[in-house]
A = this chain, B = another copy of it.
Amino acid sequence: MDIYQYIEQLGQQARQASRVLAKAETAAKNHALHAIADHVENQASALQSANQLDLDAGKQKGLDAALLDRLTLTPARINAMATGLREIAALPDPVGEISGLTYRPSGIQLGQMRVPLGVIGIIYESRPNVTVDAAGLCLKSGNATILRGGSEALHSNKAIAQCVQYGLRDAGLPETAVQLVETTDREAVGQLITLPEYVDVIVPRGGKGLIERISQDARVPVIKHLDGICHVYVDAEADLSMATDIAFNAKCHRYGVCNAMETLLVNGQIAAQLLPTLAEQFRNEGVVLRGCAETRKILPEIDVATEEDWNTEYLAPVLSIRIVQNIDEAMDHIHQYSSGHTETIVTENYGLARRFLREVDSSSVMVNASTRFADGFEYGLGAEIGISTDKLHARGPVGLEGLTSQKWIVLGSGQIRK
C-alpha cells in the first residue's frame, strides 16, 4: 500500500468512527478516558522503554538538548498525562447541548445543538504527551482523530497510542476513533491536509515554519496561531505598582510561551516614574531591554528598538519598550504589530478600559491582568488543543467547545411553509 492509500484508508476509517463517536454516550466516552488514564499509569515502564528508543536515536542524530528534553517521558510527565485525561473526563460533555430553543411565529420550535466537527487531524512535533492530550480532547468532544507526531517520537507515540486503543476497546468504542500515522514519510502530512472528504479540520502544533507550511498547503480548515506578539499598555491613570507587577509577570513568568509580553507600551505622562524601577527589576532578572527614542531618554543605557523588534516574538528574555502619547497611539501600535493573541491595558480609568476592551481586535483582551492568563487551564476549558488567532470559529484557547460547532434543530408538529 502506498502512502496515499494508507492515509486515505486512515481517513475513511476515521470518518466511519466519527459517526459512532458523535452519538456515543457521555458515560462511554468518560469510561474510555479513565481506562486510558489507568492504562497509561500501569504501562509507565513500557512507555519509558519505548521512549528510550526515541531518546537513543535522537542522541545519535544529534538532536539538541531542548528537543531531547521535550521528547522525554519522565514519570512525572506520564502521571500528568493520566491526570489530564481524568480532568477531561470530569468536564461537562459539550455534545448535544441544546440552546435557545424557542417558538417562531410559524409554530416551529427552533434551537441550536452543539455537535462534533467530525474528524480532526493533529500534526505536532516532538512532545509525545500531545498524543494523549489531543486524543482525550477530541474523544470527549465526539471527534475522531488522526495523529501525526514527529518522526523522532514515533516509538513513544506508538506506545501511547496502544494505551488509547486499549481504553477505547474497554469502553466499547471503535479503535479507529484515534489513529496514529505510523510512518515517518513526510508525504503523509501533505496527504492528510488535502483530504476534505475525510478530515474536517487540521490543528498544527509546533514551530512557526511547520504551521506556515501547513496553512499554505491545506485544503481543509486549519485552527492555528503563528505568533504571540502580546502587548501590555500602561496608561497614565494606571496604578504604577500594579503596572510593574503585571509587566514583570507578563514578561518573566515564562519566556518561551506564546502569551508572554513582547512589547511594553507606556503612556508618556508616567513613563519617567514607571520605567526606571521596572527596568531595574528586568535587569536583575537578566532581561535585555530595547526602546524607542523617547524610552531611551529615560533609559539611555538600553539599545534602540527597530521596526524588526516591534514585529518579533522573542520567546526569550528580551523586551521592546515604546512610549506613546495616549490610548489611540497604543491601539494603533497594537493594530499594526500585534499577532492578535493577547493584549492588556493597565488603567484605573473606566472609559479607557471600556474602549480598550471593545476596540482591540485580539483573541484575548484584558484589563489589569497579566497576559499569561490567556490559557485553556486558566480559562477553565480544561486542556487546550491549541490557540487560535484567526477570526472565524474559535478564537483564543481552543478547548472542547472549539472542537464542536452548532447545527440548527427544528421541532415541529407538521408545519409547512405558506
> Which listed segment binds B: A62-70, A82-90, A390-398?
A390-398
Contact indicator A378/B246 (Cβ below 8 Å): no
Binds B, one of A1-9, A104-112, A162-170, A309-317: A104-112
State which residues 388-414 of A face B: CB under 8 Å.
390-393, 395-397, 405-414
Structural contact, B22 and A410, CB atoms closer than 8 A: no
**Chain B positions within 8 Å of A408 at CB level:** 363-365, 374, 379, 395-397
CB <8 Å contact, B415 and A370: yes
User: Which residues from chain B contact A370 at a C-beta distance below 8 Å?
Assistant: 412, 415-417
- A361 cross-chain contacts in B, Cβ below 8 A: 19, 22, 115, 118, 407
Question: What CA separation (Å) do A359 and B416 show in the bound complex?
Answer: 23
Judged by a CB distance under 8 angstroms, whether A262 is at the interface is no
Q: Is the interface of A mostly helix, strand, loop or mixed?
A: mixed
Q: A370-B417, A416-B372 are in contact. Are A395 and B391 (CB under 8 A)?
A: no
Give the distance in Å from the alpha carbon of A245 to the alpha carbon of B412 in the complex.
Answer: 13
A362 to B406 alpha-carbon distance, docked (Å): 10
Kindly report how many copies of this chain are found in the complex they form together. 2
User: Nearest-CB distance from A316 to chain B (Å)?
Assistant: 18
- Expressed in whole angstroms, the Cα–Cα distance for A118 and B389 within the complex equals 14
A161 touches B (CB below 8 Å): no
Q: Which of A295-322 contact B (CB under 8 A)?
A: none
> B416–A393 contact, CB under 8 A?
no
Chain B residues near A363 (CB-CB < 8 A): 407-408
A417 touches B108 (CB 8 A): no
Tell whether A23 is near chain B: CB-to-CB under 8 Å: yes
Partner of A364, one of B239, B410, B414, B417: B410
Interface size bracket, A side: 35 or more
Residues of B within 8 A of A59 (CB): none
For the complex, give the distance between the alpha carbons of A200 and B113 in Å.
26
* A392 and B117 contact, Cβ closer than 8 Å, known pairs A359-B19, A365-B408, A414-B368: yes
Chain B residues whose C-beta falls within 8 Å of the C-beta of A412 in the assembled complex? 366-370, 373
Complex CA gap A369/B411 in Å reads 7
Say yes or no: A417 contacts B365, CB within 8 Å: no
Contact A104 B380, beta carbon cutoff 8 Å: yes
Q: Is the CB of A213 closer than 8 A to any CB of chain B?
A: no
Inter-chain contact B415/A365, CB cutoff 8 Å: no
Q: Does A357 contact B (CB under 8 A)?
A: yes
A201 at the interface (CB under 8 A from B): yes
> Which single member of B117, B239, B379, B416 contacts A391 (CB below 8 Å)?
B117
Judging by beta carbons under 8 Å apart, are B379 and A104 in contact? yes
Q: A363-B407, A369-B412 are in contact. List 18 more A-B contacts (CB 8 A).
A: A106-B373, A108-B366, A108-B369, A108-B378, A115-B361, A117-B392, A245-B416, A249-B417, A363-B408, A365-B407, A365-B409, A369-B411, A370-B415, A370-B417, A378-B417, A379-B408, A395-B405, A395-B407
Instruction: List residues of chain A with CB under 8 Å of any chain B CB.
Output: 19, 22-23, 96, 104, 106, 108, 110, 113, 115, 117-118, 200-201, 221, 239, 242, 245-246, 248-250, 253, 335, 344, 355, 357-359, 361-370, 372-374, 378-380, 390-393, 395-397, 405-417
9 contacts between A and B (CB under 8 A): A110-B379, A113-B358, A115-B361, A245-B416, A368-B412, A368-B413, A391-B405, A392-B405, A396-B408
